[in-house]
Amino acid sequence: MTLSPDTTELVARARADLRMGVPIVIGGSLVLAAETLQDARLSALQLSGQDLTLAITDWRAATLKARAYDGDLARIRVPSDAPVSWITAIADPADDLNAPMKGPLHSMRGGDPRDARLAIALTKSARLLPAVLMAPATSPPANLTHLDADALGQTLETPSPLLPLVSARLPMDVSEAGRLHVFRPEDGGEEHYAIEIGQPARDKPVLTRLHSACFTGDLLGSLKCDCGPQLRGALAQMGAEGHGVLLYLNQEGRGIGLVNKMRAYSLQDQGFDTVEANHRLGFEDDERDFRLGAGILTRMGFSRVRLLTNNPAKVAMLQANGLEVVERVPLKVGENRHNAAYLATKAAKSGHLL
Ligand SMILES: Nc1nc2c(ncn2[C@@H]2O[C@H](COP(=O)(O)OP(=O)(O)OP(=O)(O)O)[C@@H](O)[C@H]2O)c(=O)[nH]1
Ligand SMILES: [Zn+2]
C-alpha cells in the first residue's frame, strides 16, 4: 500500500466533501450537492460561463412534472442567473405545497448521464438529498477529490467489508447473558452492532432480528411507527427462549438518514403517506442494503436463522446472500391509532404481511 488514499478512501473523503459543500470531480464532471450548495460556489461556477445542470431522480422529477429522459434520473438545465434558492426549491420538497409550480423546467436529452447517476448514488450514501449540481470539469483545482467513474461505480456496488472491533458482556433486563459486538466498515462509515443473547449454537437455526435504527421509535417512544415495541419485543422473545441474535443496523429511516426521515415526516404532516413522502424527496421507498446483515451473521458463524419479521424482502435478501431462513417468525406489536395508517401503507405498498 502506498501512502496515497485508495478508491475506498477517496470515496469516503468525497462523502465528507459533499456534506461540507465542497465540490468533487467524478469522471469528467464537477459535482456539488444541492443541499449544501453555497452562494459563492454557485457564483464562481456561473462566472466561468459553464453550462450547469441539476440532476435529480425520476421520483423527484415526477413530483415536479419534469421529463426524466435518462430513465432513472433527470438533468435539469440551470438558468445562468439562478440563485441558490432556485436549486434548493427543486431539490427539497419542503416548500412544494406553497410553490407547486416551479419552472418551466427543461430536461436535457442526450449526452452521457453516467457521472450524474454516480453522483446521485454517492450523495444518497452521504445521507443528503439526492440532487446534484453538475458542470463539465474543464480545469478543476487539483486539490479537489477526484474519483474515477468506473472505480466509484464498483465501490458503490459492493458493501464495505465489516471488521469486528470489540465484544463485551452486557447483562440486560431481558437476559443477563447478553453480549454486544461492534462492527466497523472498512470505509470508516457508520458502525453496526450485534446483540447476542445466551450462547446460540452455530450449527442450529438461531432466532434472529434485523433491526434498522429508528431514533424516534427506539429512543423517544414515538407512536408514528412500531420500531420501539418491535425492538423490545424481539429482545424479550430472545431472553425468554434463552438465545438469539439481534442486529442493530445503523440504517436510520430505511436508509435515508434521520434528517431526510424528518423531512419525510414533515411531508406526512401535509398528508402524504410514508412511501409517497420518500418519493417526493427523490428516494426509493426503501434504500436499505440488507447484504450488511447477512455479512454480519455469516461472520459470526451463523448460516440458518428463524427470522423475526413481517417483511418478506428481508427473508428474500438473506436467502439471496447465503443464509437459510428456516422460519419466518411474525413480530406484530405496538399498533396504535397514530401508526395504523403507516402499518396499512407498508402492507399495501411494501408487501409487509399483516
Ligand atoms: N423513510 C422513513 N423511514 C421510516 C418511517 N417510519 C419508520 N422508518 C424507518 O423504518 C425502519 C424500520 O423498519 P424495520 O422495522 O427494520 O423493518 P420493516 O421493513 O418494517 O420490517 P419488519 O422486520 O417487519 O419490522 C427504521 O429504519 C425506521 O427509522 C418513515 O415514515 N419514513
Ligand atoms: Zn420507527
Question: 210: domain CATH number?
Answer: 3.40.50.10990
Are residues 171 and 141 located together in one domain of the fold? no
Give the domain extent around 140: 7-156
For residue 199, the model assigns a pLDDT of 96
Give me the number of domains the chain comprises. Answer: 2
How confident is the model at residue 40, as a pLDDT? 97
CA angle 265, 18, 267 (to 5 degrees): 15
Instruction: Calculate how far, in angstroms, residue 155's C-alpha sits from the geometric centre of ligand 2.
Output: 29
Q: What is the ipTM of this complex?
A: 0.97
What residues line ligand 1, using a CB cutoff of 6 Å? 211-214, 225, 227, 230, 251-254, 256, 261, 264, 274, 278, 309-311, 314, 331, 346, 352
* Closest ligand (CA of 219): 2
309 found inside a domain: yes
| Residues around ligand 2, an ion, CB closer than 5 A | 214, 217, 225, 227
Tell whether 134 and 216 lie within a shared domain.
no
Q: Assess whether 109 and 221 both reside in one domain.
A: no
- Of the three residues 128, 156, 184, the one that is the final residue of a domain is 156
Q: Are residues 172 and 66 in the same domain?
A: no
Q: 156, 191, 216: which is the final residue of a domain?
A: 156
Among 119, 96, 14, 66, residue whose Cα is nearest residue 281 = 96
Tell me, yes or no, whether 143 lies in a domain.
yes
Of 110, 131, 156, the domain-final residue = 156
Note whether 323 and 302 are within 8 A (CB): yes
Tell me the mean pLDDT per 10 residues along the chain, length 354.
90 97 98 98 94 97 94 96 95 84 86 96 98 95 97 94 96 97 93 98 97 98 95 98 98 97 96 96 95 95 97 94 96 85 83 76
Closest residue by Cα to atom 12, ligand 1, is 212
Q: In a mutational test of the pocket of ligand 1, which residue from 225, 268, 327, 332 has the highest number of ligand atoms less than 8 Å from its CB?
A: 225
Give the span between the Cα atoms of 337 and 235, in whole angstroms: 24
Indicate if 172 and 143 belong to the same structural domain. no
pTM for this model (two decimals):
0.95
Q: Which domain CATH number covers 151?
A: 3.90.870.10
Query: Would you state the pLDDT for residue 349?
Result: 84
Q: Which ligand is nearest to the CA of 218?
A: 2
Nearest to 120 by CA among 13, 40, 35, 50: 35
Is 125 annotated as ligand-binding? no
pLDDT at 238: 98
What whole-number distance in Å separates Cα of residue 238 and Cα of residue 250? 21
Annotated ligand binding at 119? The verdict is no
How far, in Å, are 28, 104, 132, 354 from residue 115 at the CA level?
7, 25, 10, 41
Residues 211 and 322 occupy one common structural domain: yes
96 and 54 part of one domain: yes
Return the closest-CA partner of residue 187 out of 4, 13, 2: 13
Say if residue 174 is in the same domain as residue 48.
no
Q: Does 87 share its domain with 110?
A: yes
Is residue 262 one of the residues assigned to a domain?
no
Atom of ligand 1 nearest to the CA of 252: 27
Please report where in the chains the cell 446534484 appears, as a residue.
Answer: 132
β-pair partners for 57 = 73
Catalytic: 285?
Answer: no
Residue among 110, 126, 105 nearest 56 (CA):
105
Other CB atoms within 10 A of residue 142 CB:
7
| Residues 183, 115 share a domain | no
Give the distance (Å) from ligand 2 centre to CA of residue 277.
15
Is there a catalytic annotation at residue 337?
no
Whether 2 is covered by a domain: the verdict is no
Q: Is 206 domain-assigned?
A: yes
Let me know if residue 279 belongs to a domain.
no
